[in-house]
Amino acid sequence: MSGTINVLNVAEKPSVAKSVSSILSRSPNPHSREGRSRYNRIFEFNYSIRGQPCHMIFTSVTGHLMEIEFEERFRKWHSCDPVDLYQAPVCKYVPEEKNDIKRTLEEEARKCQWLVLWLDCDREGENIAFEVIDVCRAVNHHLVIRRARFSALIDREIHHAAQNLVEPNQLFADAVDARQEIDLRIGASFTRFQTMLLRDKFNIDFSADDKNLVLSYGPCQFPTLGFVVERYWEINSHEPEEFWTINCSHKSDEGMATFNWMRGHLFDYTCVVIIYEMCVQEPTATVKNVRQAEKLKYPPHPLSTIELEKRASRYFRMSSEHTMKVAEDLYQAGFISYPRTETDCFSSRTDLHIIVQEQQRHPEWGSYAQRLLDAGAGLWRNPTGGGHDDKAHPPIHPTKFSAGEPRWSQDHCRLYELVVRHFLACVSQPAVGAETTVEIDIAGELFSASGRVILTRNYLDVYRFESWGGSMIPSYVVGQQFIPTTLTLDSGVTRPPQLLSEADLLTCMDKAGIGTDATMHDHIKKLLDRFYATKDQNTRFCPTSLGEALVMGYDNMGYELWKPNLRSMMEFDMKEVSVGNKSKHEVLTTCLQQMKACFLDARLNKIKLLEAMEVFFERSNRSTGDEHHTAGEVVRSCGLCQEADMVLRRSRDGNFMVGCLGFPQCRNAVWLPGSILEAAVTRNICSSCSPGFL
DNA sequence: GCAAGGTC
């Protein structure tokens, strides 16, 4: 073997550079010096790779080093036709704020014989690896380039990776190149097109700073908007239907039992009346069945990013964007582990007990932590995972004890508490309850009642965010007979679903593969920033007229640009590229060809987009006048808000519409076609569809 | 001024 060689090692982020350096140098604080970028230090130590003595120089980037952009002459909005953006040359460049990292890499690469890439082992990481290669090779053509493959920051894994270096995977990087290019071309072309088309035609009046009103289109943000609009439409089109049911209760010395009709509810009034009459004539109830069973309520799986966002939204009404900001703070200060992870199971190598031990001092949950560690208490249970593992980061867990820091905001305290309590819950036994179900028979009709008592709370003692409802019911024995205390015929009305909450929206995105754990909150925030949707105090999202108009415009064209399919197809193609079934060129060509055709067609049909905007901005303009308060003929009560009446009126352009008097709080409305010359409210009921009770 | 993806 020759003498010592210099090896430049690059990780995706500073924390990984430090961890890997510690492991390889077998020292908790390896020697380090400053680089040109103040975040990315350079660690130095000696190491031996397969007998070759190496002087290791270990630094990092911060995610992608480069961005993709159109060539200069296509960057200005009016410099070209947006359709040109499907062929315009694109290039990768290092943005200004990453220049110091680039310079560090160049300076160090000149001194080295080898370059070892320690980027995350996913597609994006592989792509970043090639960005680093580009920069380093430009200043040193003789570099020997190697890739370290590791899935966890633990000794065995890291030493194994260092001793078994491989080639970087061009296919993985290609998949990301294709994704970037498609996203840029589609996003920029549609954004410019719809912004320039609609901004000048409509006086879209936003109270805030709208000097740079941009109506953006993106393959992630639009499907996200699509979910919001789709739910809103589902609510609007809901026709409340009246139903009937029979309820029965029985009061005894032990308390009250409420029995539900096992038929649930029926929409046929006559039918329910006949059954009810039978029950009233022979009201004696006979107990047919009494079941007792032990039920378990399991603690949640270890915490992934999406779950953290969902739970912070549900428990504290924190937005996912704010949650990630606070989590990042806590992570930077060392209180919680890395907050961007898909993993919801702990590696068997993680020492869970040590994490619990640290929390024993806490005034609120410390005693619970002590009980967990007491083997005699039997509270401990090894956590069960949810089956997700990104092979890079553990689930989110506390890494340092705190009883609250002076600099923390209320949200920092809450989020730290959630992470700790969630962790303690994960390693706890499930809650145990006893459930009793009683079935009775009245005149041949079956009713049932159930009750539950919690026998052992276990994890519920620490996880104060969850409860397990249930009430006691008196005891019954099979064959026992009694006369019900009440037996009533009740009516109800079917309700529309609720608007999507932030947690619902995250679930929709996760299922459809829209965005990643690190970006989903960005796409949600974008809907609010672009005035496409609003969020109420209960974190529920409602599309604005603008958001609804955009989705409706494309929907009327017959395109599913606002549905998640487009992104799923792209994801599928990316996978094909990364395993070598399709080439990057092939995927780019076909995908962009299709999107260009779609773009040209959309432009040809821009009248649909304009029409959709007219509908909503007509409606929006009206709200500034007071004419919507003028009464019209009442058609029916509003099924959406269930508070005001729907009335028939003429809109400003002379067309008929049926709108809710609750406007603008309630935006329920039906717009009749302009070809209708007369409209009136009658009591006649359509004989073919015979709508039910309204 | 435009996308989505890394990360500080």
> Which residue segment(s) compose the domain that A407 sits in?
305-426
Residue A431 domain-assigned?
no
Nearest Cα to Cα of residue A15 among A332, A395, A399, A354:
A332
Residue A599 domain-assigned?
yes
The beta strands (E) that lie in A443-575 are given as: 445-456, 481-482, 486-493, 500-501, 533-535, 540-543
In terms of domains, do A35 and A145 share one? Answer: yes
The 10 Å Cβ neighbour count of residue A113 is: 16
Residue A618 domain-assigned?
no
The 10 Å Cβ neighbour count of residue A576 is: 17
Count Cα neighbours of A589 within 13 Å in the Cβ-side half-sphere: 5
In terms of domains, do A158 and A39 share one? Answer: yes
pLDDT(A155) > 90:
no
Rounded CA gap, A257 and A450, in Å? 8
CATH code (residue A198): 1.10.460.10
Q: Which residues pair with A512 in a beta bridge?
A: none
Rounded CA gap, A640 and A239, in Å? 8
pLDDT at A222: 95
Mean pLDDT of chain A: 89
Per-residue pLDDT, averaged over A106-125, amounts to 95
- pLDDT band, very low/low/confident/very high, at A622 (cuts 50, 70, 90): very low
- A338 among known catalytic residues: yes
Non-local (6+) Cβ contacts of A34 within 8 A are A41, A42
The pLDDT tens digits for A361-395 are: 999 999 999 999 999 999 999 999 998 887 778 89
In terms of domains, do A90 and A232 share one? Answer: no
Residue A419 domain-assigned?
yes
The pLDDT tens digits for A267-321 are: 999 999 999 999 999 999 999 999 999 999 999 999 999 999 999 999 999 999 9
Structure tokens at A234: 């589902």
In terms of domains, do A63 and A133 share one? Answer: yes
Which amino acid, one-letter code, is at A433?
G
In terms of domains, do A55 and A143 share one? Answer: yes
Q: Which nucleotides of B are covered by protein (CB under 7 A)?
A: 1-8
Rounded CA gap, A128 and A65, in Å? 7
Nearest Cα to Cα of residue A617 among A202, A31, A225, A216:
A202
Catalytic residue (choose from A217, A232, A338, A532) = A338
In terms of domains, do A12 and A99 share one? Answer: yes
User: How many Å does it take to go from CA A384 to C1' B2?
Assistant: 44
User: How many Å does it take to go from CA A591 to C1' B6?
Assistant: 24
User: How many Å does it take to go from CA A438 to C1' B7?
Assistant: 57
Length of chain A counted residue by residue = 694
CATH code (residue A352): 1.10.290.10
CATH code (residue A153): 3.40.50.140
Q: Tell me the nt nearest to A184, Cα to C1'.
A: B3
Contact (CB, 8 A) for A110 and A6: no
Q: Tell me the nt nearest to A60, Cα to C1'.
A: B7
Could you say which DSSP state residue A470 is in?
-
Is the Cα dihedral A412, A415, A421, A424 positive or negative? Answer: negative
- pLDDT band, very low/low/confident/very high, at A164 (cuts 50, 70, 90): very high
Q: Tell me the nt nearest to A186, Cα to C1'.
A: B3
User: How many Å does it take to go from CA A496 to C1' B8?
Assistant: 44
Rounded CA gap, A676 and A669, in Å? 16
In terms of domains, do A291 and A325 share one? Answer: no
Rounded CA gap, A584 and A481, in Å? 75
In terms of domains, do A368 and A418 share one? Answer: yes
Residue A410 domain-assigned?
yes
Per-residue pLDDT, averaged over A661-670, amounts to 55
pLDDT(A477) > 70:
yes
The pLDDT tens digits for A12-64 are: 999 899 999 999 999 999 999 999 999 999 999 999 999 999 999 999 999 99
Residue A561 domain-assigned?
yes
- pLDDT band, very low/low/confident/very high, at A625 (cuts 50, 70, 90): very low
Q: Which of A168, A196, A213 is the last residue of a domain?
A: A168
Number of folded domains that form chain A = 5
Q: Which of A168, A184, A213 is the last residue of a domain?
A: A168
The pLDDT tens digits for A443-459 are: 999 999 999 989 999 99
In terms of domains, do A683 and A648 share one? Answer: yes
**What's phi and psi for A52, nearest 5 deg?**
-90, 115
pLDDT(A645) > 70:
no
Please list the alpha-helical segments (H only) found in A168-297: 170-201, 221-236, 269-281
In terms of domains, do A41 and A141 share one? Answer: yes
Could you say which DSSP state residue A111 is in?
H
**What's phi and psi for A451, nearest 5 deg?**
-145, 160
pLDDT at A559: 82
Contact (CB, 8 A) for A485 and A251: yes
Distances (CA, A) of A493 to A258, A582, A692: 21, 53, 12
Per-residue pLDDT, averaged over A623-646, amounts to 55
Is the Cα dihedral A650, A651, A656, A659 positive or negative? Answer: negative
pLDDT at A265: 94
Q: Which residues pair with A266 in a beta bridge?
A: A244
Task: Identify, with chain letter, the residue nearest to nucleotide B6 (CA–C1').
Answer: A63
Q: Which of A152, A168, A184 is the last residue of a domain?
A: A168
pLDDT(A694) > 70:
no
Q: Tell me the nt nearest to A214, Cα to C1'.
A: B1
Nearest Cα to Cα of residue A158 among A54, A11, A44:
A11
Residue A620 domain-assigned?
no
In terms of domains, do A218 and A157 share one? Answer: no
User: How many Å does it take to go from CA A136 to C1' B6?
Assistant: 19
In terms of domains, do A602 and A551 share one? Answer: yes
Could you say which DSSP state residue A377 is in?
G
Please give the residue that has the higher pLDDT: either A629 or A31.
A31
Residue A462 domain-assigned?
no
Q: Tell me the nt nearest to A188, Cα to C1'.
A: B2
Task: Identify, with chain letter, the residue nearest to nucleotide B4 (CA–C1').
Answer: A183
Helix, strand, coil fractions of chain A, as percent rounded to 5: 40, 20, 40
User: How many Å does it take to go from CA A204 to C1' B3?
Assistant: 24
Nearest-5° Cα angle at A53, A52 to A58? 110
pLDDT at A662: 54
pLDDT(A644) > 80:
no
Structure tokens at A164: 């078994």
Task: Identify, with chain letter, the residue nearest to nucleotide B2 (CA–C1').
Answer: A188
